Amino acid sequence: ADAYFPNLDEMPEWSITADSEEQTYFDIEYTFLKYEKKMR
């Protein structure tokens, strides 16, 4: 099944609170980002 996930970078109530070092799996490079929603 397909799923839609909104672009949190375009939503001002969300911000990145942590990120990982760049990692590699075979020839794929990736990082992890932790987003948190700001309290109102």
State phi, psi for 7 to the nearest 5 degrees.
-80, 105
- The pLDDT value recorded for residue 22 is 97
The angle subtended at Cα 16 by Cα 34 and Cα 2, nearest 5°, is 60
pLDDT for 14-39, tens place per residue? 999 999 999 999 999 999 999 999 98
What are the percentages of helix, strand and coil residues in the chain, rounded to 5?
10, 40, 50
d(CA 6, CA 35): 12
29 or 3, greater pLDDT:
29
Helix (H) / strand (E) containing 29: strand 28-30
Task: Give the pLDDT band of residue 2 (cuts 50, 70, 90).
Answer: confident
Q: Model-level pTM greater than 0.75?
A: no
